[in-house]
Structure 1
Amino acid sequence: MSPIDPFLPRRRIAYFSMEIALRPEMHTYSGGLGVLAGDTARSCADLELPMVFLTLASREGYLRQEIDGDGRQVDHADPWDLADWATPLDAMVAVRIEGRAVWVRPWLYVLTCPVGHAIPVLLLDTRLEHNDPVDRAISDRLYGGDEAYRLKQEILLGVGGMRILHALGFDIETYHLNEGHAALLAAGLLREHRHPSDRPSDGALRYDADRVRERCVFTTHTPVEAGHDRFDYEDAERLLGDFLPLDQMKLLAGPDRLNMTRLALNLSGYVNGVAMRHAETARRMFPGYGIRAVTNGVHAPTWTHPAFVRLFQEIAPDWGHDPEELLGADQLSDDAVWTAHQEAKGDLLAEIQPLAGVAMRPDVPVIAFARRMTGYKRPDLLFTDLERLRAINRTHPFQVVMAGKAHPRDEGGKALIAEIHAHMRSLAGDIPMAFLPNYDMTLAKKLVAGADVWLNTPLPPYEASGTSGMKAALNGVLNLSVLDGWWIEAWVEGVTGWAIGQDDQRHEDDAQDLYDKLERTVLPLYHADRGRWIRMMKDSISKIGSRFNSQRMMRRYASEAYLR
């Protein structure tokens, strides 16, 4: 009996994602997209949804970040042992890339949540002796290499993933494309649905796209242009061969370049953005498409600190399966909430000392900023006026901890990391500050639970959703954020947290607004009115934790996207 056999009878939905954060030891993710996919899988297990997940094996990981003596990011591979966590399956399929047969083998990882059932995850691997040496590395490095390497990976995920499912015996009715990386899956389905008349008239699609749309769901995740993969058709023809006639591909994916987002939009019957504001932005970016909104959520049991888990169990024993029960968290006692928070904060401070060599105090508020380091996230906004920061700290002391990786090819993001370190060195004698290297799931759990304030400063409208603030809110950490992404839906000023600036097109004053809010509202409240601060902590848990969770998100996908 094959280890995949128990999963075959009920799996009707396949979820394709280039990255999935399954556990810290498996380096199959780079950031928010993968962490969201992991939380999606965990909630699918909890809810017993009939799903199978597919991703790349990514044996070399994404990026292990080192910070050198000058504060610059140094990139390293981040290898892990696939055999330690997954089981190879007795099946292989071939996809043709550059005219060669590239063999793909699936490995099975079984994701089992403490409050749920099991979900199969298939990791696609090309490191096989059957393959040409140049092809063995296709599945190795997440988002590595040049455009040709990326396209090969997307062929592997979309085309190879679909063939793997067929070879293993899955009977899939619905395919969920998590971002455009898997768009070639939809093109592969199109090959199976040629019009009976097969009339090759000029400008006509010779395939039955409607039948493909009935089977495909597409979630787009970013308003940032760089996040929408485009490939030269010359490269596409060289790598894909006659997979789909060029004239047909141009009808679906754009006349100039192979636009994976456009391909997915044209071949998916259900399309959604990941927050209400993001859906509005996506409809402006892609006029003519019906783009709905399913706001992201996080897997509550995964991201809640053990001290708060104990509290939640007392008031809502089923909260892990049904986080809506956290509505009652506003009835927790102040002392219990503060004690739990101080335990989580102590764990974070104990992590900061060895990683950054900075000693921080438990009685001084910690402001945390942790996310991918790139220009539109504006990680340097806090350092716009160093003298103003010093002045605020003299009256209302605070501490800052930051973390985040820049993409290996994002030189602007790397420059921001170096600048942040320079600012921290300048402020070292006045304000305790630390940058924690190699931000990953393990470190994220400490940060979202142990901070006092979760700072978020993206340039609107480029924050599609954001989920780290949701994780922080589950632990009573208060959000201080620009009004973009999910925060517009969760923000109640002075209740669930605070806004930086207004919901408008003017952002040149955001730094001034940030300083004003810290100096006049946030820090004075922490130091002078502990009762009101704890009241906000409880409101954050009850109003945000009960709503912005992946259980609610997956119930919406199931009812609105999968069962349409």
Structure 2
Amino acid sequence: MKAIRRLTVRPVLPDPLRPLSDLARNLRWSWHEGTRDLFRSVDPGCWADAGGDPVRLLGTVPPARLAELAGDGEFLRRLAGAAADLDRYMTGDRWYQDRERSARLPAAVAYFSPEFGITAALPQYSGGLGILAGDHLKAASDLGVPLVGVGLLYRHGYFRQSLSRDGWQQEHYPVLDPGALPLALLEEPDGTPARVALALPGGRELRARIWLAQVGRVPLLLLDSDVEENDLGERGVTDRLYGGGSDHRLLQEMLLGMGGVRAVRAYCRITGHAPPEVFHTNEGHAGFLGVERIAELCDGGLDFDSALEAVRAGTVFTTHTPVPAGIDRFDRDLIARHFGPGAELPGIGAERVLRLGGESYPGGEPGVFNMAVMGLRLAQRANGVSLLHGGVSREMFAGLWPGFDADEVPITSVTNGVHAPTWVAPEVFRLGARAIGAERAEEALTVGGPDRWDSVTDIPDEDLWELRRTLRGQLVAEVRERLRASWRERGAGEAELGWIDGVLDPGVLTIGFARRVPSYKRLTLMLEDRERLTGLLLHPERPVQIVVAGKAHPADDGGKRLVQELVRFADDPRVRHRIVFLPDYGMGMAQKLYPGCDVWLNNPLRPLEACGTSGMKAALNGCLNLSVLDGWWDEWYQPDFGWAIPTADGAASDPERRDAMEAAALYELLEQRVTPPFYERGRSGLPDRWIEMVRRTLSLLGPRVLAGRMVREYVERLYTPAAEAHRAMEPDAARGLAEWKARVRAAWPGVRVGHVEASAATATAELGSTLGLRVRVGLGDLAPDDVEVQAVSGRVDSGDRITGAAALALKPVSGPDLEGRWVYEGPLALDRTGPFGYTVRVLPSHPLLASGADTGLVAVPTDEPAGTAAPLMR
């Protein structure tokens, strides 16, 4: 008989054990080994059955065991110590508070993301975007950054993956009971659940309650539409992560963005938390948060254009997408139905919302509403997630800034990092703690700093090698256990599975490959030449073994075919002891996989990997990277700690030929450069060259790949300037900037760059000499204070395009003449040899602009002005 309703009955803990509940409800336990050890000691068997989830553990421990612990003096002492440690962590000064006190720092930052990977016990993530968001919150907590996370609570999370007998991916969607998760309802002072609501067409409403997950010091607000006040359709809005059609996804993104702002306001009102000065949109899914904030300001008396300027000042937008196909785009008519009279934000109107996301630029689709475009238009500061991805993003979105070269598009980059306490194996941490002490080792993982990682050079070779052997052995045991469970799910009987006891060898070079399975990540590139791969796997002296995991999107049959192809190869009795595919890749598996591998393989199509943080997690455990120069590896690769797979960029436009070339390069690297140093032994009997690469990976890459480094960069380079801009954008300033922009746009057709004269300081153009520039500029109805006239110079290529451009502001010396022209002058230094060129341009200039390209307007020496900002709404 099936239950019609489910709920979770929580245990009543004896009074001496009450602190266990507080420890379980704060997700700091997910990265704090001491707290996990405490829960493990409650009941090791129940802990294993609960999958390392303290909330589930406390719901299954027999009452007799709880009573025993309540009288166990040693356990109570450990419990009191853990509770006191958490209290110090929550209330003590961290990096953010220890910095020189400055009013520049934001009082609070709201961080919006469609998914968060905090722990396997809270399965609200699908892949890298969510794991990155979870690591961002954890690092902010460790550093004391006053962040508030905002997301959705998906009742089915992302799917669970299994395999059919023939290797086809199967999806399962278990129902999650919030009462069984480490969550608490946000309640009003009268004890009723806090609610947010969105108006839907036809007089309907979408209501949601707010669950609170405490991620160390950071509150994470998760909106849940599965409430009785909703109709059946609205109850299912937060059913699955990245599920449903366009209408369903739009409602999810409206609830995340607009409902999320309302949830933040409710949380601050109820708890007294400082209101955010900065709103960070992690990818375009949450872009409607800017529309909601505009509506708030309009309700407070600002007009739309002024409110837009105020919102942009305090908004940061991060794009993770290197290809247009990865961006959420909706039909304009669908957007129009959800805004305006009878729906949301009737005071603003659908047309204004549509203009924010419209692809009104060369190459855009007029009938499409683009969430990333809206995110960029609503944020004064934007970034990609690696140096290479920043450049790709500037190229991809250059149409929003016509008249500017791609390298001047105002999208910077902050390279992702990973939260070391989450991803570093306890054995690695303990080895570091023996070298420099536990406190310094913890600081090295959270705050970072090269000086704390230099001590890796003092760790003896035998200790590093023993660490790697231990971790590899643990992985072998984990793989065998998971592989046996997978084959049982595929219908195999126990009598068929004796071979699994011989799968993998703790002494063999182990390669890991685990990630989502879109086609560009090329899961099956390793199968390009199967005989050559088989030779590598079965080499009599230098064999390799490979552990593979990954999920294809449920709607991606192409990705599922790739999984099936890999699985069928791994099922071959000739090689199945050397290559395995593990289904249901997630955080729990990853935390065993990264440390246990010797080499982490990554072979995407360059430059389609925005960052690719899995290799960072592996590196923190002494695993060496073997990767295409894409994402973060393009930025930080050195031969000292890994290998770069050559790519056929531009040399092979045919995909099959390109894959064949790059696969051949991969095999060559494995045969000639990767396996030899692993198996070669020096005088000490150890693989000296390999150990040295491990040492350099830890000491040189370690401090770079930390999420702590990433969050510090966000604070210093994006959050703090955004907070300052937010404070400067008071109502009068916002109105003034909006009026100024309107006036400049109207007058811009009258801006002209006229005659340019240059006089050399010497007879020949020599390095170190200067050119005296003199240019006549027509400003029309504008004044010199409204513009900046620049000389732009640098090396020129064969097409006379300036590269590595530098801009010099010229000064007005006279004007206007009878024709309204002003004369500008300035010295241009010839500071580079070789082909050199320059030009002159005019940009709008205002103290509240974040960059010269902010308005999208520019005038250059042509018959017509270049660039128009009308479609940009800047």
From 513, 523, 527, give the equivalent of 2:679. Answer: 527
Distance 2:316 2:302 in 1: 26
Which deviates more, 135-144 or 553-562? 135-144
Shift of 1:172: 1.7
Secondary structure, counterpart of 2:250 in structure 1:
helix
The answer to whether the Cα contact below 8 Å between 1:191 and 1:207 also exists between their aligned partners in 2 is no
Distance 1:429 1:195 in 2: 67
2:532 is equivalent to residue 384 of structure 1: no
The answer to whether the Cα contact below 8 Å between 2:335 and 2:354 also exists between their aligned partners in 1 is no
From 477, 480, 483, give the equivalent of 2:623. Answer: 477
Distance 1:95 1:542 in 2: 50
Q: How does 1:184-199 map to 2 (within 5 A)?
A: 184-194=288-298
From 373, 377, 390, give the equivalent of 1:262. Answer: 373
Distance 1:430 1:346 in 2: 18
2:445 is equivalent to residue 320 of structure 1: yes
From 497, 502, 507, give the equivalent of 2:642. Answer: 497
From 559, 564, 571, give the equivalent of 1:425. Answer: 571
Secondary structure, counterpart of 1:15 in structure 2:
strand
Counterpart for residue 302 of structure 1:
422
Counterpart for residue 512 of structure 1:
664
Which deviates more, 364-373 or 164-173? 164-173
| Post-superposition CA distance 1:358-406 (Å, at most 9, x none) | 4110111111100001100001100100111123342521111100101
Counterpart for residue 236 of structure 2:
137
Q: How does 1:412-491 map to 2 (within 5 A)?
A: 412-426=558-572, 428-429=574-575, 432-491=578-637
2:108 is equivalent to residue 108 of structure 1: no
Distance 1:72 1:196 in 2: 56
Distance 1:437 1:165 in 2: 37
Shift of 1:250: 3.1
1:503 to 1:552, Cα distance in 2 relative to 1, 3 A: farther
Distance 2:374 2:153 in 1: 25
Counterpart for residue 73 of structure 1:
169
Counterpart for residue 195 of structure 2:
92
Residue identity in the other structure for 1:478: L
From 375, 390, 401, give the equivalent of 2:519. Answer: 375
Shift of 1:132: 1.2
Secondary structure, counterpart of 1:231 in structure 2:
strand
Secondary structure, counterpart of 1:320 in structure 2:
helix
2:498 is equivalent to residue 401 of structure 1: no
Q: Which has the higher contact order (CA 8 A, sep 6+)?
A: 1
| Post-superposition CA distance 1:41-89 (Å, at most 9, x none) | 1111100001110111112111100111111100111333322310011
| Post-superposition CA distance 1:95-129 (Å, at most 9, x none) | 113341211111111112xxxxx111111111111
Counterpart for residue 763 of structure 2:
none
Residue identity in the other structure for 1:498: W
Distance 1:428 1:356 in 2: 17
Shift of 1:197: 11
2:347 is equivalent to residue 347 of structure 1: no
Distance 1:563 1:462 in 2: 30
Q: Normalising by the residue count of structure 1, what TM-score does the alignment of the two structures yield?
A: 0.93
2:679 is equivalent to residue 536 of structure 1: no
Distance 1:328 1:506 in 2: 44
The answer to whether the Cα contact below 8 Å between 1:13 and 1:174 also exists between their aligned partners in 2 is yes
Distance 1:562 1:430 in 2: 50
Distance 1:149 1:278 in 2: 30
Secondary structure, counterpart of 2:432 in structure 1:
helix
From 135, 150, 153, give the equivalent of 2:249. Answer: 150
Distance 2:601 2:234 in 1: 42
Secondary structure, counterpart of 1:208 in structure 2:
helix
Distance 1:153 1:429 in 2: 45
The answer to whether the Cα contact below 8 Å between 1:103 and 1:128 also exists between their aligned partners in 2 is yes
Q: Percent identity?
A: 40
Residue identity in the other structure for 2:705: F
Distance 1:475 1:196 in 2: 52
Which deviates more, 553-562 or 325-334? 325-334
Aligned residues: CA RMSD: 2.2
Residue identity in the other structure for 1:489: E
Distance 2:464 2:434 in 1: 12
Distance 1:439 1:423 in 2: 19
| Post-superposition CA distance 1:129-170 (Å, at most 9, x none) | 111121111112111111111111001100001011112325
1:13 to 1:346, Cα distance in 2 relative to 1, 3 A: same
Residue identity in the other structure for 2:444: W
Secondary structure, counterpart of 1:323 in structure 2:
coil
| Post-superposition CA distance 1:215-245 (Å, at most 9, x none) | 1100000113332100111212223435343
Structure 2 spans left out of the alignment, 5+ residues: 1-24, 27-89, 92-105, 188-193, 359-365, 402-408, 485-499, 653-657, 682-686, 722-874
Secondary structure, counterpart of 2:692 in structure 1:
helix
